[in-house]
Amino acid sequence: MATKAWAKGSIQEKPMTVVPQMLELRYAENRAIAFSMLHNLPDKSRAPLVLGLSTLALAALLSLIWSMRRQGVARLIPLALILAGALGNLQDRLSHGYVVDFVYVHWRDRWDFPVFNLADSLITIGTALLLIEFLFLSSRDRYPAR
């Protein structure tokens, strides 16, 4: 949240180049969901849909964390990362009506990635860790007998 406030105050008017032709800090307001999906919907229907989906996803995540609470801290780290990112973005949505994004990765004028924020990075890292666990650990290793 502090990074988003910094972005709003520091780079809203003038983007900052970190690595030329590769990484910029550029202020953006995302009123849709990840990668600006649903941005074509009218505000009147998009805003409640995005808020409802966010709330539903948060409830599912909290339920999963609760059900895995005895699995040990290492098992909960990916879920905690996802939760932290989701709460940061949800707070933005509730207080501003949009999520502040500011990290812009690109390669010259040939390729670019949608602008994102650190909360998005936490969600992505947590999801990747869950995927790695699912793909490379057997079910016995993932859920040991109690």
Three-class SS state of 111 = strand
- Per the DSSP assignment, residues forming a β-bridge with 127 are none
Q: What does residue 2 show for φ and ψ, rounded to 5 degrees?
A: -65, -35
Q: What letter would DSSP give residue 12?
A: S
Kindly list the catalytic residues: 101, 120
Burial status of residue 86 (CB atoms within 10 A of its CB: 0-12, 13-18, 19 or more): buried
How far apart CA 135 and CA 120 sit, in angstroms, is 22
